Structure 1
Amino acid sequence: MMEAMDDDIRPGRLLVATPMLEDPNFRRSVVLVVDHGPEDGTVGVVLNRPTEVRVGRILPPWAELAGGGEDVVFQGGPVALDSALALAHVPGTGEPLGWRPLEGIPAVARVGLVDLDSPPALLADSAAQFRVFAGYAGWGRDQLKSEIAEDAWLVVSGQTADVFSAEPAELWRRVLHRQGGELAFLATFPDDPTLN
């Protein structure tokens, strides 16, 4: 397995569950890191767990912005499932009110957190993509570093397209495959190795 160093964990990076991680909350998940600090730990959202709940059902004011194929809520993780957070892709150079860019790597530039208490109209003309997550994934200080050392997670570069993937069921395989080499081989790992 590829071992990642603690400083590889930062907003905009992806945590990709290895086949060895069998926790049902994270099995074959791809998590976008949205916040990380050496003292506070790490917060992220699972990008490939769509639910059947429509955004309009839980956040009616945001339903129009979430329209099209992105109108379902995603389960962002097992923590605080009764709360929501949203991400939006805002092309260009401005920073509209109610939106804060992730301080990450350039590949996910212009993706940021949305203040769901602000009026949706503030983002209506700026946001190219928008996604709502119920709950989040969180790790305490050094917890994620320990899980990475145990080969539960890989830390890789993210892309804006990963955050708003139209095919979330294929995201795990797609992210691994584009890494090349040994990591691309993991993308072929069977769902149930005992049936192989």
Structure 2
Amino acid sequence: MTVSTLTGSLLVATPLLDEPPFRRSVILLLDHDDDGALGVVVNRAADLAVNQVLPDWSTAVDEPGVLFMGGPVGTDSALAVAEVVEATDPPGWRECFGRIGLVDLDVPPVLLEGAIARMRIFAGYAGWSSGQLEGEIAEGAWYVVESVTEDVFGDDPDTLWRRVLRRQSDQMAYLATYPDDPTMN
């Protein structure tokens, strides 16, 4: 089976996916192929400043300057997602799609000065084995939509789920008004 890649897309949790940690999550897919998928939840800011855990990188990250909860897997490790400036391929950066890629946090930050346009650091990630994500999409757990750079680096991650749904041009836009607790509707 050959999977059409969804790398660079967003997974938006449908209202049917109501269990933590994915309830109303928005996941940026960094890698997707026949072997599975890997992404980070981009709308879960933690209450922990980057300078408390990775002080060398604190000036490189965008506001709000906190660690983000990237997913339930490997939460004791960090992934840095960065957008590079035009026509750069800095040391320690690996392209995922376009100008978005992963930064090796073991590389001295000084080597990337001027090359990184924006960056966020995530504790953990979301991962799926071969065929697992496709099954979840078929079951109605996720919407797959196009990403824009502001989805990853925007300054209001708490409203991202609604904003991504609202900008869709089909019935999905109506779900942006879905109540937090439908029983209270």
Q: TM-score range by the shorter chain?
A: over 0.9
In structure 2, do the counterparts of structure 1 residues 171 and 7 end up closer, same or farther at CA, with 3 Å as the change threshold?
farther
One-letter identity of the residue aligned with 1:99: W
Alignment partners' CA distance in 1, 2:5 and 2:144: 7
Highest RCO, 1 vs 2 (Cα 8 Å, sep ≥ 6): 1
Alignment partners' CA distance in 2, 1:11 and 1:150: 20
1:141: how far off? 1.1
Question: Larger strand proportion, structure 1 or 2?
Answer: 2
Matched, 1:29 2:18: no
Q: Structure 1: which 4+ aligned runs deviate by more than 2 Å?
A: 6-10
One-letter identity of the residue aligned with 2:51: G
1:188: how far off? 0.9
Q: How does 1:54-69 map to 2 (within 5 A)?
A: 54-66=49-61, 69=63
**Equivalent in the alignment of 2:91:** 97
TM-score by length of 2: 0.95
1:70: how far off? 3.4
**Equivalent in the alignment of 2:156:** 167
One-letter identity of the residue aligned with 1:52: D
Q: How does 1:34-183 map to 2 (within 5 A)?
A: 34-38=30-34, 40-66=35-61, 69-103=63-97, 109-183=98-172
**Equivalent in the alignment of 2:184:** 195
1:110: how far off? 1.0
Q: CA RMSD in A?
A: 1.3
Deviates more, 1:122-131 or 1:154-163: 122-131
Alignment partners' CA distance in 2, 1:165 and 1:120: 22
The unaligned stretches of length 5 or more in structure 1 are 1-5, 104-108
TM-score by length of 1: 0.90
One-letter identity of the residue aligned with 1:17: A
Preserved CA contact (<8 Å) 2:4 2:33? no
Preserved CA contact (<8 Å) 2:21 2:71? yes
In structure 2, do the counterparts of structure 1 residues 53 and 81 end up closer, same or farther at CA, with 3 Å as the change threshold?
same
1:7: how far off? 4.7
* Superposed CA offset, 1:62-81 (max 9, x none): 11212x62310000000010
SS in structure 1 of the partner of residue 74 of structure 2: strand
One-letter identity of the residue aligned with 1:151: G
SS in structure 1 of the partner of residue 177 of structure 2: coil
Alignment partners' CA distance in 2, 1:122 and 1:27: 38
In structure 2, do the counterparts of structure 1 residues 174 and 7 end up closer, same or farther at CA, with 3 Å as the change threshold?
farther
Alignment partners' CA distance in 1, 2:5 and 2:167: 19
In structure 2, do the counterparts of structure 1 residues 115 and 14 end up closer, same or farther at CA, with 3 Å as the change threshold?
same
